[in-house]
Amino acid sequence: MKNIVILISGGGSNMAAIVNAAHREQWATRYQARVAAVISNQAAAGGLAVAQSHGIATDTVDHKAYASREAFDAALRDRIDHYAPSLVVLAGFMRILTPAFVQHYAGRLLNIHPSLLPAFPGLHTHQRAIDAGCQFAGATVHQVTAELDHGPILAQAVVPVLAGDTADTLAARVLTQEHLIYPRAIAALLSEKL
């Protein structure tokens, strides 16, 4: 069985979309894969309760308890490795990971970013797209590399930027597409690993 470990920092809506797709599309039978654990850097992350309601193991590694990013990443890596993951999926995990962490999971570490990469890496993507006068925005699923919001693109979804859009209205429209493309990209990657 291929284990998937999902990392979150908040409500976990992308995590929930992945878990629901795994159940609905019977990933355990089809790909011999399951979401084995959800780990957060925030003990109060709402997504942990969502994962628990699906019978998924949860854990917290509080980044504030570590003196450095390297120490936090080492502790997080140890916790993830307990589940022997085939894939580590960042789903709203709001920490920049060290190159050593990324290298440890090379080829197995995925992220979703709320822009059409390579445009607008980093934060405040929706407002930046509006300010730049973009007619389209979207989301990108990509493999994680040491360079922030770079790496091979696995899937993208496009939404229009509408007159009168705010960062919040655009973000909501993009998020609906994130919930569709992230599970599909993971499923496609799992099917390649069969």
Domains of the chain are 2-192 (3.40.50.170)
3-state secondary structure of 168: helix
Provide the pairing of β-strand 153-160 with 136-143: antiparallel
Q: Is the pLDDT of residue 164 over 80?
A: yes
CB burial of residue 192 (10 Å; 0-12, 13-18, 19+) = exposed
Per-residue model confidence as pLDDT tens digits over 97-115: 999 999 999 999 999 999 9
Per-residue pLDDT of 50-65, as tens digits, reads 999 999 999 999 999 9
Catalytic residue among 23, 63, 82, 113: 113
For 84, the token pair is 């022997």
What value does the CA radius of gyration of the chain take, rounded to a whole number of Å?
Answer: 16
Residue 193 scores a pLDDT above 80: no
Residues 6+ apart with CB under 8 A from 171: 114, 126
Return the structure tokens found at 159: 């939404």
Active site residue 113: yes
Please name the residue that has the structure tokens 């979150």.
8
